[in-house]
Structure 1
Amino acid sequence: MSNRFGINRKGRMNVRLFSFILALIFCIILAMFPFDDALVIRDSQTGRLLWETPVDNGLSFGIRWIHSIHRTPVVEFFRVEGSELVEYQMSFEDYGIGMNNQLAPGEQLVNRNGTFYVENMHRLFPEIRLYIGQVRANHTLLFQGEEIPLRTLDRPGSSITIRVEKRSIIDRLEGSTS
């Protein structure tokens, strides 16, 4: 039996099946398209995803570690700007051996209540690579009020990479640990 356009029942089923398949392909392609920025931490050797969270431009985080000589905390503060990470401030308690002793133009060293701050920094990084301390460094990610010891994400002594990546829905299903 045909309708007024000359399409029979079998033809309508084929059109519906074709439309369904086309819509499914469109959804799969859309799910694979990377459109979301995320701050990710990966194992530098294997590329294995260790941690991720969605981020917006301007979001900030810190990395705290214990200085191997002074044995006092150092905190480096970063902000997401597009696909780059900008170090904008650093704080530490003891100024001496092993600490950077040169400021870039515009940076200021101030002492507030016994803590040194390097302010007005604008150091750009496409990514941050570091080795998770094995003895006393205790590298810790400071993110939105949380403290995440990096040794809980990968073994001490391993190299990690922190960067901003474009992530798709499929990437997120890969296994977000944030």
Structure 2
Amino acid sequence: MLTRDTLSRGRLAAALAVIALALCLALAGVAIAGSTGQLLVVEDIETGDRYITHPVDDGSTVALAYTHSVEKTPVYDEYRVEDETLVNTRMEFESYGWGLPSRVNVTNVNGTFVYDPPEPITTLEELSVSPGRIASHTLIVEDQQYDLVAETNATDVRIHVEHRTLTDALT
């Protein structure tokens, strides 16, 4: 026999179940949206289309290797990931040319000028690159190399670090 008490307890149990379900869904949403590390992103400057995404951590090395457009000599430009920034930590080049440091102390190692500053020279939130077919821009993330010209069809890109969500990690 159903009584008023039985109906009230049933409604209370149903209400508690709905509240528990809503709480679980909210927590799942936070977990999915929560940060699970960092991601290096190479995207089209104009459209935002992503060409490359690569997981990184604080301390990861990111570098650009290319041939200088005027000097026609190799350049290696190295960065370290720090939170959501790229910190320029080293440059190697074989001749002085536009865009290369000319007023800093360098070491000559087997004909290559090496600028290894005691403190970072530049900290960037993003790096703009125009991958060139003659320059043959290569992006190096730790041990992985990407041909930026082929990956982007020589389209201007922006390279930056962002926090990665669980959704990013799962897709």
TM-score using structure 1 length: 0.80
Give the letter aligned to residue 63 of structure 2.
G
Aligned residue pairs, count:
167
SS of equivalent residue, structure 1 residue 153: helix
- Secondary structure of residue in 2 paired with 1:108: coil
Q: Which residue of the other structure, out of 146, 161, 166, is the alignment partner of 1:164?
A: 161
Alignment equivalent of 1:137, drawn from 135, 138, 141? 135
Tell me if the contact between 2:61 and 2:79 (Cα under 8 Å) persists in the aligned partners.
Answer: yes
- 2:96, 2:102 within 8 Å by CA — same for their partners in 1? no
Amino acid at match of 1:164: V
Letter in 1 for 2:37: D
| CA distances 1:157-176 after superposition (whole Å, capped 9, x unpaired) | x1111111122223445x5x
- 1:118 corresponding residue in structure 2: 115
Alignment of 1:71-150 (within 5 A): 71-93=72-94, 95-98=95-98, 100-103=100-103, 107-120=104-117, 121-133=120-132, 135-150=133-148
After alignment, is 76-85 or 32-41 more displaced? 32-41
- Structure 1 unmatched runs, 5+: none
Letter in 1 for 2:152: D
Instruction: Tell me by how many angstroms 1:11 deviates.
Output: 4.5
Distance 1:19 1:100, change over 3 A: same
- For 2:74 and 2:97, the matched residues in 1 are separated by 14
- Once superposed, what is the RMSD of the aligned Cα atoms? 2.6
User: AA paired with 1:84?
Assistant: T
Aligned to 1:66: 67
Provide the rounded CA distance (Å) in 1 between the counterparts of 2:147 and 2:63.
12
Superposed CA deviations along residues 28-83 of structure 1, whole A, max 9, x for unmatched, are 13312345322211111111222222322221121101112332211100011222
Q: Could you tell me how far 1:118 is from its partner in structure 2?
A: 1.3
Equivalent residue letter for 1:167: R
Matched residues in 2 for 1:56 and 1:99: separation?
Answer: 28
Q: 1:51 to 1:101 in 2, by over 3 A?
A: closer
Query: What SS does structure 2 have at the residue aligned with 1:7?
Result: helix
- 1:151 maps to what in 2? 149
Q: Quick check: 2:60–2:142 contact (8 Å CA) kept in 1?
A: no
Helix, strand or coil at the partner of 1:18? helix
Unmatched runs of 5 consecutive residues or more in structure 2: none
